[in-house]
Amino acid sequence: MTIDQQIEELRAELRSAAGDGERRQIKAELVLARAEREVISAEQDGRESAERPL
């Protein structure tokens, strides 16, 4: 599964999340997945300052 697919899956889960706790968890996972996508993009672009967030 690509990072973009993972993000889309998390968005779908967020739309159907039942409780506040579940929504918070999914939102946190989305933040991490988006940060990972940015790192991957930076690495592919050859940016030397591409450091893993968090």
At 6-33, the pLDDT tens digits run 999 999 999 999 999 999 999 999 999 9
Residue type, 25: Q
Residue 2 has pLDDT above 80, yes or no: yes
Domain boundaries, the chain: 3-45
pLDDT value at residue 47:
67
- 7 or 54, higher pLDDT: 7
Provide mean pLDDT across the span 42-53.
Answer: 70
pLDDT value at residue 29:
98
pTM: 0.79
Burial zone of 37 (CB within 10 Å; 0-12 exposed, 13-18 middle, 19+ buried):
middle
Dist. CA 42–CA 54, nearest whole Å: 16
